[in-house]
Amino acid sequence: MKLLTKTNLYIIFFNILLFITGGVIFYYIFRTYIYRQIDNDMLVEMQLVRDEIIRTDTLPDLAGKSQGIIHVALLEAPVRPEQVFRDTILKTPGGEEVAYRYLKLYGNRPNRTGYFIGILHSLEEQKDFLQAVTLYISFLIITLLIFVILLNYFISRKLWSPFYRTLKTLREFDLTSTQKPLLEINSITEFRQLNQTLDEMLDKMILDYNNVKDFINYASHEIRTPLAIINSKIEILMQARNLTENQMKMLIQIQESASRLSRINQGLLIISKIDNYEYSEKREISFSKIIDEYIERIEDILEGKSISITRKYSGEPVVQMHPALAEMLVINLLSNAIKHNIDNGTINITLSQTYMEIVNTGISLSAPPEKMFEKFRKESVHNESLGLGLSIVRKIVDFYRFSIRYTCSDGHHRIVVNFSPSSA
C-alpha cells in the first residue's frame, strides 16, 4: 500500500468517527434546548390558567390562552399534586399521526378539591427544524471531509516529494556503475538528514566495493609471480635423476595443487576484471568460428569419449562483444557440456541470430538449476571442476545484458543464451 493511500485511510477513518460522534452530540444538545423552550412556553401558559382557577374557583375562559391545545377540569375530590411532561402522539381526523409535547398538572384549589390542566404543543415544526439542521450539519461534515482528504493528499504529496525523489534515485543506482547518484540537499531537516545519511552510506558502500574489487585484482596479480616461482622450482627439481618414485609423486601433487590454485586465481581475476570494465572493447563476433575452432582443438577428446556433436547454424548472433569474453563464454559452456557428459553422449549446438543453445546428455544434477551459476559451486562427481566456470559465464551474460536459462530433464541439460532478451 502506498504511503499516501495509507495516510488518507487513517484520516478518513478518524474524521468519520469524529464527525459522527460530534454530530450525534450536537443533535441531542440541540434537541434538549428545543424541548426546554417548548416546556417553558407550556409552563407559562399553565401558570396563567392555574392562577385564574385558584383566584376565581371557576373554569376560566380558555380562548387565546394557549398556542396549542388546552383543557381544564375541576374535580370533586382532592388529588395528589403532580406535574408531568411527556411526548405523545395524537391522530388527526384524517388519520395522520402528529407528535405532541404534553404537560399534565394535577393540583388542589383552596377549598380542597382538585383541578387538572392539560396542555399539548405540536412538535412538528420543531421536528422539521431539527431535520433541516441535521441535513445541514451532515452536508457540512461531508464537505469538510472531502476538503480534508484533498488537502491532505496535496500536502502529503508535496511534503513527501523529496522522499520519492530520493527513492527513485536509489532504485536507479547501480553499484557496478562508476556514477555515484546525487542526492539533493533538502530544507526539511528529516529529509536532509536522510539524504546525508544515505549519501554517507553510499560513499561507504562504493568505497568498500571498490576496495574489494581492487583487493581481488591486486591479490590475483600478486599471487601470479610466487606461483610462477613455485612452478618453476618444481619443474627444475623434477629434472633431478636421483629422486625416488615417492618423492616424484609428492612433487606432482604439489604441482597439481599449484595449478589448481592458479586456475582459481585466474577465474577470480577474470570476474574482477569484468567488474572493473577492463573488457570494454567491442567487436563483431563470429560465434560459429569460435565454436568450430574449439571443437577442432578438442576433437580427439570428443572422439575418445565417443561424444557426438551436432552443429546447426541458422544465423550468426548480431552482437558486439570483447573477443576474449565471447571466447570464454563459448569455451566455458562447451567444456562444461563435455566434462559433465556421459560416454556415448551427445552435444547439440544451435546458433541463430538471437540465441545460442547447447543441449548435452549427462547425469542429473543434485542441485537446483538456479544455483548453478553461483560462485564455487561444483558437482562432487568431478572433483577437478573448478566451479568458477559458470559464474564467469553468468558475469559475462550480465555484463552484456544477455539472458541465460538452464533447464534439465530426462538426462538432457539445456543452456540457452539469449543475446537480445529485450526484443524476444
Partner 1 sequence: MKILVIEDERELALSIAEYLKKEDQVCEVAGNFKKATEKMDEVLFDCFIIDIGLPDGNGLDLIPRIKEIDSNAGILILTARDALSDKITSLESGADDYLTKPFHLSELAARIKAIYRRRNLGGNTVIRHNEIEVFVQNRIVNVNGNPLTLTKKEYDLLVYFLSNKEKVLTRESIVEHLWGDEVIMADTFDFLYTHIKNLRKKIMEKGGSDYIKTVYGVGYRFTEQ
- Site residues for partner 1 per CB under 8 A: 221-222, 224-225, 227-233, 235-236, 238-239, 245, 248-249, 251-252, 255-256, 258-259, 262-263, 269, 273, 278-279, 281, 297-298, 300-301, 304-305, 322-324, 331-332, 335, 338-339, 382-385
Type of residue at 235:
E
* Shortest separation between residue 6's beta carbon and partner 1, angstroms: 53
DSSP state of 371: G
| Least Å from the CB of residue 400 to partner 1 | 16
Contacts of 158 (CB under 8 A, 6+ apart): none
CB of 242 vs partner 1, minimal distance in Å? 13
The 10 Å CB-count burial string (b at 16+, else e) for 323-346 is: eebbbbbbbbbbebbbbbbeeebb
Q: Name which of 107, 8, 4 is nearest 53 in CA terms.
A: 107
Pick 204 or 233: Cβ nearer partner 1: 233
Coil, strand or helix: which one is 12? Answer: helix
Cβ distance to partner 1 smaller for residue 66 or 332:
332
Return left, alpha or beta for 173; rule: phi > 0 is left, psi -120 to 50 is alpha, else beta: beta
With beta carbons less than 8 A apart as the criterion, state whether 146 and 92 touch: no
Shortest separation between residue 223's beta carbon and partner 1, angstroms: 9
Helix and strand totals (H; E) in the chain: 8, 11
Nearest distance in Å: CB 4, partner 1: 52
Residue 230 DSSP one-character state: H
- Nearest to partner 1 of 239, 409 (CB atom): 239
CB of 397 to partner 1, least distance (A): 18
CA separation (Å) from 263 to 143, 219, 243, 251, 333?
Answer: 75, 14, 28, 18, 17
Q: Which grid coordinates belong to 84?
A: 408531568
Q: Are 389 and 328 in contact (CB under 8 A)?
A: no
Residue number with CB closer to partner 1 (65 or 305)? 305
Give min distance, CB of 176 to partner 1, in A.
19
Q: Output the smallest distance, CB 315 to partner 1, in A.
A: 26
- Four-CA torsion 415, 418, 422, 423, nearest 10 degrees: -120
Nearer to partner 1, 128 or 281 (CB): 281
How far apart CA 225 and CA 230 sit, in angstroms, is: 9
Closer Cβ to partner 1, 22 or 226, answer by number: 226
Measured from the CB atom, is 113 or 255 closer to partner 1? Answer: 255
Question: Which is closer to partner 1, CB of 124 or CB of 235?
Answer: 235
| Distance from C-alpha of 79 to C-alpha of 113, rounded to nearest angstrom | 7
CA distances from 216 to 171, 390, 400, 407 (A): 27, 19, 22, 32
Closer by beta carbon to partner 1, 99 or else 248: 248
DSSP state string for 115-139 = EEEEEEEE-HHHHHHHHHHHHHHHH
Shortest distance (Å) from residue 370 CB to partner 1? 25
